[in-house]
Structure 1
Amino acid sequence: MLPVTLDRTTTEPLPAQLAAQVRSLVLSGTLTAGDRLPSSRALAADLGVSRAVTEQAYDQLTAEGWTEARPGSGTYVTMTRTTTAVAPRVTTRPTGVAPARSARSLPRSASPRSSRLDTGTPFFDPRLEPGWRRAWREVSATAPPRGYDDPRGLPELREALAARLGRTRGLELHPDEIVVTAGTTDGLRALLPELRPGPVAVEDPGYRAAAETVLTYGREVVDLPAVETVRDLGDAVAAYVTPAHQHPLGRVMPAADRLALLEAARRADAVVIEDDYDSEFRYDVAPVPAMATLDRERVVYLGTAAKSVVPTLRLGWLVAPAELHELILRRRTITHAGAAWPSQRALLTLLRDGWLDKAVRSARRVYAERAPRVAEAMSPYATLAGPLAGMYSTWLLPETDAVRARDAAAAAGFEINLLSTYARSSGLTGLVIGFGGVSDVELDQALTAVTGALVERVV
């Protein structure tokens, strides 16, 4: 029997409690790689719960990479992977010099009126518009601060965010540990000047705005292969990663890889920058816990409202180790940096009224329905790069085919990104197809255009 105890008096679901305690047993060394867990039926009997509770917990742990299910044998702890240590690659260019773009990276017909099937436009449920309008009416009726606001952000908003991050991401925070930012890149801009001199590692392929922000601050970018275990950060002072849903490949960073990266960061005396940008949108299991829960002294946590509300709200949050936190606040106080007060006040209302939870649930349902439709259309022609989750999926195929499909979509009035535009040295090619910011009809029309162009290659 596992040494776990479930508390039925709390609001935390029993499967979540069980998964969290198994994680703790692995991290403490009580459970090690190769250990076989009790069967879901036996553990359910031991704990006096339904089998559904243990099955959900095991599914969650397997999705996160803490365990693996071996058909006919059972569920085993897996904290090691047969991988090769990755040597970082460096990408540099002078500050202010725009990257060169080949003709093939540009669609043949790009219209300002094109519907965008991108990774950053979320679904907005029209049924939630009254709550959205109510939040802004409250902003208009509330007296703004007479001077510069607290550089950490509105105290009431930080309290609401601390409660939400504890409930949804497993991060137990005091509100004063949170700094409200104007989005993820603003969080990076606040952090980068406080790091010691040296390059910053960024996933490849990865978030283009993050790499560009690092370069803008005059630092080298070290390319971290996004689908391999990182055991050596070289002389990098930080590593920027998207472990909950790798951008843009969609991979969830396995538990073993998270621990390996943290160990590499400790050896290099570097920090891990965790961008948790769309962690809410898993359809198969509960959202994977934040990487920051594994090491609060080594991880800088970045979150954003861009994917759960709208990108133009321009709000995010940063949680940094104590020393960096103080340096960031000192500079923000001097420079009067901070997120816009009206946006902060509106988000406070959206959180208080439960609007944000409703928006996430609504969007998750829509994405869970649309993702399989994209998979059904694309599977005959391309390979899915990661699990179906979030508001987009990435498909691997030759660049010539991807360009032809992208151009066919553009001719039909739809903008779809090439995977190659997210890559620096990886050489991966394909299409990144978003499905949050379009209607069902538009999605079907775009997929028809894309697959029509790919059929030509098959025939």
Structure 2
Amino acid sequence: MAATLAVVLDRADRRPLGGQLADEIRRQVTDGRLAAGDRLPSSRALATELGVARAVTEVAYGQLVAEGWLEGRHGSGTFVSASAPAQAPPHRPRRRAPEARPLLRLDAGTPWIDPRYAALWRRAWRDVSTTRPPAGYDDPRGLPELRTEIAARLGRIRGLDCDPDDVLVTAGTTDGLRHLLGVLPPGPVTVDDPGYRAAVATVRLAGREVVDVPALGPPPDATTLATCAAAYVTPAHQHPLGPTMSGSARLALLDASRTSGALIIEDDYDSEFRYDVAPVPALASLDRTRVAYLGTASKAVAPSMRLGWLVPPQHLLDPLNQMRAITHDTASWPVQRAYLSLLRDGYVDKVVRSARRTYAERSTRVAKALAPYAQTTGPIAGMYATLELPRRQAEAAHQSARTKGYDVPLLADYCRSDTRHGLVIGFGGCTDAQLDEALGAIVRGLR
């Protein structure tokens, strides 16, 4: 006997009747009203019952047979071929209503972009729109013209002597880190604690152990690195505490790398924003054979571009290029083309110079507002300041800022085994007025 189908078709619905019928039968299978082996009415009988053309039921049955929900048996009819799940899907909780005012996150990675140069930004994307993209997959190393510009820029502002063929364009810093981890021998990776959370997550997702190294202590020595594949560091501006790695510590880390064989991975995320002295040359400039250099456009142009670059030691170039050629794992062509225009038109240099002046002024404002309560750690550089505080004070200031609409990260969120507390106050992704309002809320919490 054929199963009874309780189906109602809505002729006012914009969906075709055949699609409505297929949806309803599929729903009855998944919620258990129709079981595997149940025979359905013939397409002619069901069409008569529903008062539709036979073509409607044939379309629905044909779609569900193609999807594997039904099967046609020659001379016997159409049967349900799938069973309902053993357990009904969990009830989805209702979403909470959004807050009246979305929180503005004052984090360590959102830059301030001078709106005066918006015309150059628009021009770059017009250039993309009038340029023909590659017919197939483009060069896995990145656009040759962009790699030439990046190599020249690294030599000019980071003291890094490299050729365009040494540069690999990536979809951001963590993308470059992920590629490096894919060609390194097995072993853990040392990361400063507190340190960059995205790097920690990337290392762990690669199936490697993270070895904590005290952020303000000496760099990992040869004994520590003996069992490690790499050491991840942010020498120009330790993330998130702020100090610059000293010359002696840099030399000691390089010696430990040579002795142990572990690679040094330098994340040079915001070195352009030193506003007390000239930017410190990259660690990779001291020894290209032991250091893989990671750079990013996120802090100068926009995190959402997801664009970065990797300059690995020579012995890793071929493995990286071969892997990326197989996986087609490179940055988006339109983004690369736009960034090339932004470099050539001077946009990047202009927004960096403007942001450096803005950050210098804002850092002074932050230090002055917080001076009665605690001193920021390390020389203030970049687009954030870190304030070490007792736990209760940090949490009170964090909550006070939230009540005014600002999410100021807690230093504890960057720690793993370290027990520091405090605030990491970003001042790039806000206006001057918003920064003043946030600082006022933080001070009220500290009081």
Q: TM-score range by the shorter chain?
A: 0.7 to 0.9
Give 1:217-228 correspondences, 5 Å limit: 217-228=206-217
Consecutive unaligned residues in structure 2, runs of 5 or more = 1-97
In structure 2, the partner of 1:210 is 199
Say if 1:393 and 1:274 are closer, same or farther in 2 by CA, change over 3 A.
Answer: same
In structure 1, the partner of 2:120 is 131
Q: Is the 8 A contact 2:154 2:161 kept in 1?
A: yes
Q: Is the 8 A contact 1:181 1:317 kept in 2?
A: yes
Q: Which among 158, 163, 166 is matched to residue 152 of structure 2?
A: 163
Task: State the Cα deviation string for residues 165-193 of structure 1 (Å, max 9, x = none).
Answer: 01000011110000000000000111101
Residue 383 of structure 1 aligns to a residue whose secondary structure is: coil
CA drift of 1:111 comes to 7.3
Distance (whole Å) between structure 1 residues aligned to residue 306 and residue 101 of structure 2 = 22
Residue 272 of structure 2 aligns to a residue whose secondary structure is: coil
In structure 2, the partner of 1:285 is 277
Amino acid at match of 1:441: A
Q: Is the 8 A contact 1:395 1:432 kept in 2?
A: yes
**Is 1:196 the equivalent of 2:188?**
no
Distance (whole Å) between structure 2 residues aligned to residue 110 and residue 244 of structure 1 = 38
Identical amino acids, percent of aligned pairs: 60
Distance (whole Å) between structure 2 residues aligned to residue 273 and residue 225 of structure 1 = 17
Q: Give the greater-gyration-radius structure (CA).
A: 2
CA drift of 1:448 comes to 0.3
Q: Is the 8 A contact 1:110 1:415 kept in 2?
A: no
CA drift of 1:383 comes to 2.5
Give 1:328-407 correspondences, 5 Å limit: 328-407=320-399
Q: Which among 291, 297, 303 is matched to residue 311 of structure 1?
A: 303
Say if 1:129 and 1:162 are closer, same or farther in 2 by CA, change over 3 A.
Answer: same
Amino acid at match of 1:296: R
* RCO comparison, higher one (Cα < 8 Å, 6+): 1
Task: State the Cα deviation string for residues 358-387 of structure 1 (Å, max 9, x = none).
Answer: 010000010000001000011111231110
Pairwise CA RMSD: 1.1
TM-score, reference length from structure 1: 0.74
Q: Which among 429, 434, 447 is matched to residue 421 of structure 2?
A: 429
Distance (whole Å) between structure 1 residues aligned to residue 132 and residue 308 of structure 2 = 23
Distance (whole Å) between structure 2 residues aligned to residue 348 and residue 111 of structure 1 = 40
Amino acid at match of 1:167: R
Count of equivalent residues: 347
Q: Which among 230, 233, 246 is matched to residue 241 of structure 1?
A: 233
Distance (whole Å) between structure 2 residues aligned to residue 399 and residue 185 of structure 1 = 30
Say if 1:267 and 1:111 are closer, same or farther in 2 by CA, change over 3 A.
Answer: farther
**Is 1:185 the equivalent of 2:174?**
yes
CA drift of 1:322 comes to 1.2
Distance (whole Å) between structure 2 residues aligned to residue 425 and residue 213 of structure 1 = 18
Residue 292 of structure 2 aligns to a residue whose secondary structure is: strand
Q: Is the 8 A contact 1:111 1:413 kept in 2?
A: no
Distance (whole Å) between structure 1 residues aligned to residue 254 and residue 217 of structure 2 = 14
CA drift of 1:251 comes to 0.7
CA drift of 1:291 comes to 0.2
Task: State the Cα deviation string for residues 192-230 of structure 1 (Å, max 9, x = none).
Answer: 011111100011100000000000011000011111112
Residue 280 of structure 1 aligns to a residue whose secondary structure is: helix
Distance (whole Å) between structure 1 residues aligned to residue 419 and residue 120 of structure 2 = 45
Q: Is the 8 A contact 2:397 2:445 kept in 1?
A: yes
Q: Which among 98, 101, 104 is matched to residue 115 of structure 1?
A: 104
Amino acid at match of 2:143: L
CA drift of 1:325 comes to 1.4
Amino acid at match of 1:152: R
Consecutive unaligned residues in structure 1, runs of 5 or more = 1-108
CA drift of 1:112 comes to 7.2
**Is 1:440 the equivalent of 2:438?**
no
Q: Is the 8 A contact 1:237 1:268 kept in 2?
A: no
Distance (whole Å) between structure 1 residues aligned to residue 412 and residue 362 of structure 2 = 24
Amino acid at match of 1:301: Y
TM-score, reference length from structure 2: 0.76
Distance (whole Å) between structure 2 residues aligned to residue 290 and residue 359 of structure 1 = 21
Distance (whole Å) between structure 1 residues aligned to residue 234 and residue 273 of structure 2 = 14
In structure 2, the partner of 1:144 is 133
**Is 1:320 the equivalent of 2:309?**
no
Task: State the Cα deviation string for residues 221-259 of structure 1 (Å, max 9, x = none).
Answer: 001111111224341110000000111001100010111
